Amino acid sequence: DQQVKQNSPSLSVQEGRISILNCDYTNSMFDYFLWYKKYPAEGPTFLISISSIKDKNEDGRFTVFLNKSAKHLSLHIVPSQPGDSAVYFCAASAAGAGSYQLTFGKGTKLSVIP
């Protein structure tokens, strides 16, 4: 029973274009959402997060949108660069419910083509 779903295993985008990575969740207790980026043979690195009290958070080329009614969030990368090629994990936590666990999706492999 996957509580965090990333339905696209892979995505290819031309350099300079927008990359949109999607994530859906089922647990209504989740109140904090994060995106991690992972290169091969490295650990995940934190990219951007959003609290459930917001619907948008922006950091440079990265923007995360949260639609609570649809239980959906997305990560936009504009413009996409070859160095953005990596696996992106969506994660969620129910910190307000006292959970210590980050629940991860399976990841989406982004390839940015020069």
Partner 1 sequence: NAGVTQTPKFRILKIGQSMTLQCTQDMNHNYMYWYRQDPGMGLKLIYYSVGAGITDKGEVPNGYNVSRSTTEDFPLRLELAAPSQTSVYFCASSYSTVNTEAFFGQGTRLTVV
Q: Does 29 bind partner 1 (CB under 8 A)?
A: no
Sign for the CA dihedral angle at 49, 55, 56, 57 comes to: negative
| Helices and strands (H, E) in the chain, number of each type | 0, 11
Residue 83: strand, helix, or coil: helix
Q: Which is nearer to partner 1, 52 or 74 (CB)?
A: 52
Phi, psi of 69 (to 5 degrees): -65, -35
- Residue 96 touches partner 1, criterion: CB under 8 A: yes
Asked if 108 touches partner 1 (CB under 8 A), the answer is no
Q: What is the x/- site pattern for partner 1, positions 52-91, by CB under 8 A?
A: -------------------------------------x-x
Question: Is 47:60 a contact under the CB 8 Å cutoff?
Answer: no
Residues interacting with partner 1, by CB under 8 A?
4, 9, 32, 34, 36, 41-46, 49, 51, 89, 91, 93, 95-96, 99-107
